[in-house]
Structure 1
């Protein structure tokens, strides 16, 4: 007997759970020692980190994580500045006016659609998970015409990647839903009071009938490529990517929903992976964990040392055992006069904690944690010594070496986050007929996504510096050899520099517009030269006309003397 859809899903879910198990112990430690509440083990009654600060004494790692999280959002996908643009490979065609305008307008509309969605909020939270656990998973959906993102907590999903490991294409996740949510989505019919209870268990119906609308129920969702489908049937159950829901632990042949997506809805960037692993092998949180543990231990030691000095353990004579006595400041303990010499409180033992050395070691541990989270890089402006940089270029020049350390991570974010997200938004615009009319020249051209985020531009600081040095060198050389300027293609230098710093394409004219402007300027110069030449030639023509008139007159009167007189040469 063939397996049902649900049986296949549950079998694969067990395999995915087995693959993720080795990572869970470390994720729990990262959650407990750095940012409690971000890892959910799956229990619906989990307090979700409300009382999760029991292992944290020094919150410096949490602050470093927060700085890095904000830095990733501002540096990679800031809502306030361009961070991606659509482009094509053909450079000449890319500089063609209509094509350039189309790419700019498509980019602008994509950013506008993202700005009114919740995707930026999801990305900000996702960067926190990636910094701490090494990856996050974002599910791209629609809420009517509005783009919508779903960010399941770490611990509530299981991943698998495509055949060649290029991108995550499978996500099984646990969803905790109330009875009211389940009934509203899968039982109640739209625009009707009718109820269809055929896809839910009797447990749901009984809870609904008893009025337990807020009772939490465990539901699973499977998103993965659909291998067996009929492309000729454009139904939800035949879409390229399936998205199926079922209620955990109930009737094994029932599915809450069998649906799907037209394209891969999963965005799951990893910080760094080894081989064909699905989950990240390392990330800032993992790198910082040993120092975080040592930091908490040393802070505990320092606190104990200070407490031993401020509130030391005391010894007192047995004569005070049954008498009123107190060691609090300002209190008085009454003793007999003959016992004064032996009744004093004394320290039980001397504690000489080298607090200075301990504090220095704690500061060093904090610096290592900051370096692990790149917090020192993201806080470069506020912590930089000397005169503060006035612009992003100066900051980039000062921190170029540190910025290069983020290069591999930024490249991975481009391939696993920025590019698939921009592609997905483009297809949504196309589905909604919100893209501008494409020029005929773009037929057959493959659309690319350029990363123009702040962090990516920082990686290009070397290229912009080389362009500036080259232009400066040629300028200096032209002082001795003016023809050296002929070697420099100024137009291409401007284009390359603009691309490197991610300048808005509309402020750099396309090659055809530049050619038209220069042709018009040449025509104007030629017209001006012709006018000037005509003005210079007019007196000569006037004198020539007078000479011709005088010559004709001499033919009547005769004699060269008369000719010279008419020309004003002879009196």
Structure 2
């Protein structure tokens, strides 16, 4: 069923492509379900749908994996996109603008407005779910859209809904979601465009859940001279797959999703791998061990009993203070059955599995041991070491998450206005046409990666200081202004506490001028002092020249 032949062909094409993506993803689904069952049970709806509110921890006997995954999730959140400190800065690609005060002022204002938009939106809670999906499933999907109230709206989609495809560069460029929505909500969202079949169903039972498909992919053909929804680089189609009905077609100027992968094999398409996948064998083994050890401990604490087949009045009461009767004159007793269970051995082997699980989730790096005698410098050094150990994760997340997230947010905000006034101020006329913008990451993890350069610089001074006593000129090689700029950028000093280049030049000019004036005063004072000291001598010389008074 379709409105016309064009829509019918489009629906058939999209659903055929979707079927291919479903087949490609199927091999991952059982793996994801197993991970969810043991490590993130709240997300355990991959291959089977659970009732809302149903218990999901029936397979869990030890929570080490759950806690370790939560720790890594929280650590990534705090180290990459913390709500309490800056985690990115904008820079002009043109290096000549690096010292331009107008450029710095405009960039600073733009950054602040972006941070304000992130704070107003639901970014922090949604990005936390993204990190949770990365740690558990190795793949996460977040959509970034315009919002009429907060300007930006973020929504992390459950991996069970999403089917991905990559371009030739290995970047995800296609996301197809299959999800359920009540007919009431669908009617409110699209009106009668949901089609006559669903309109009729919505009247009878508006709360019935129905499946929909949303496909976002590069548009095969479009007119670059037009800017309407049907001629944008990215196609967006909502489909009723049951009735083969195209509900709504539009487009995006930029890819609206960010789809980072934690780790990814080059030969695997679309989806990534995670620490949870590495830890899964140990997690499953630990659950079985814990169950066995619990049984062993129960047998030791409350052992099975050996009861003679004769001489006791049944039933045998094993409760505290229980009173049991037996035939007098017999030596038979109720005795515990000692099975020889070795509970300490079981606990020791469990600890080995727990340590392996913690290592898979980087817990040993995230929680480096600190001795009570450590100095503040040693604590800082260890913390920086921890950050560097997680460095390999940063490269992929910068390319697949942070960069597209910031770029998409920047362009969305740049097209919006509040009360008729654009959110971003126009750049000064001198800056227009001077190149694009670059993103510099200043999160704690990113700064730790650059800490090695700073340590090398400080080490240089330790080596040069003794040599400078022999030849002070060796420091002529060092650009002190450049060194200060490098240090302030590396350690993340806020721009608001630094003076501008113009202010520094003015202060130096005033200082030089004051020094010159002081030098002139000193020279005049020296001349006056010399003249004062020479006056008696000059007078004596004058007297000698004139000779004795003969009047």
Fold shared, TM-score > 0.5 on shorter chain:
yes
Structure 1 residues 267 and 528: CA distance shift in structure 2, 3 A: same
- Alignment map for 1:127-142 (pairs within 5 Å): 127-142=131-146
CA distance in 2: counterparts of 1:22 and 1:322, whole angstroms: 61
Quote the offset at 1:319 in angstroms. 2.7
Larger Rg: 1
* Counterpart selection for 1:561 from 543, 546, 550: 546
- Does the Cα contact within 8 Å between 1:28 and 1:39 map onto a contact in 2? yes
Correspondent of 2:356 among 368, 371, 376 = 368
Q: Distance in 2 between matches of 1:132 and 1:389?
A: 36
SS at match of 1:182: helix
Offset, 1:447: 0.9
CA contact (8 A) 1:68 1:374 kept: yes
Deviations along 1:462-489, one digit per CA (max 9) or x if unpaired, are 1121111112322333233322222322
Is 1:158 matched with 2:163? yes
- 8 Å Cα contact 1:38-1:154 kept in structure 2: no
When structure 1 is superposed on structure 2, of 491-500 and 174-183 the one drifting more is 491-500
Q: Show the 5 A alignment for 1:381-400.
A: 383-387=369-373, 390=376, 394-400=378-384
Q: Which moved more, 1:502-511 or 1:137-146?
A: 502-511
- The 5-angstrom pairing of residues 327-342 of structure 1 reads 327-338=318-329, 340-342=330-332
Q: Name the structure 2 match of 1:352.
A: 340
- Pair 180,394 (structure 1): closer, same or farther in 2 beyond 3 Å: farther
For 2:176, the equivalent position in structure 1 comes to 172
Alpha-carbon separation, structure 1, partners of 2:311 and 2:209:
60
Residue of structure 1 aligned with 2:241, choices 242, 248, 267: 248
Q: Quick one: distance in 2 between partners of 1:274 and 1:538?
A: 84
Which of 266, 269, 273 does residue 278 from structure 1 map onto? 269
- Listed as ranges, the matches of 1:475-514 within 5 Å are 475-514=465-504
Kindly indicate whether residue 201 of structure 2 is the aligned counterpart of residue 207 of structure 1: yes
The answer as to 2:11 corresponding to 1:26 is no
* In 1: Cα distance, 2:350 partner to 2:166 partner: 41
CA offset at residue 375 of structure 1? 2.3
Deviations 1:508-555 (A, max 9, x none): 44545433332232122112212332333346679999999999xx9x
Give 3-state SS (helix, strand or coil) of 1:57's partner.
Answer: coil
Query: What TM-score do the two structures reach when normalised by structure 1?
Result: 0.87
Provide Cα deviations, 1:155-197, integer angstroms capped at 9, x if missing partner.
11101122322x212100022111211111111xxxxxxxxx3
- From the superposition, tell whether residues 486 and 336 of structure 1 become closer, same or farther in structure 2 (CA, over 3 Å): same
Structure 1: gaps (5+ residues): 188-196, 566-571
Match 1:95 to one of 92, 99, 114: 99
**Residue 99 of structure 2 is aligned to residue 108 of structure 1:** no
Change in Cα spacing, 1:452 to 1:78, as seen in structure 2 (3 Å) is same
Structure-1 separation of matches of 2:152 and 2:221: 28
Structure 2 unaligned segments of length 5 or more: list them.
Answer: 417-421
Query: Which residue number corresponds to residue 513 of structure 2?
Result: 523
Per the alignment, do residues 49 and 490 of structure 1 end up closer, same or farther by CA in structure 2, a change over 3 Å counting? farther
Q: What's the TM-score, normalizing by structure 2?
A: 0.90
Q: How many aligned positions are there? A: 538
Moved more, 315-324 or 290-299: 315-324
Structure 2: distance between partners of 1:104 and 1:389 = 36
| Contact 2:260–2:397, Cα closer than 8 Å, also in 1 | yes
Residue of structure 2 in register with 1:379 after alignment:
367
After superposition, the C-alpha distances for 1:273-305 in whole angstroms (9 at most, x for unaligned) are: 111533445321011111111211111121011
Tell me, what secondary structure is at the counterpart of 2:250? strand
Q: Distance in 2 between matches of 1:4 and 1:389?
A: 70
Q: Per-residue deviation at 1:314? A: 2.1
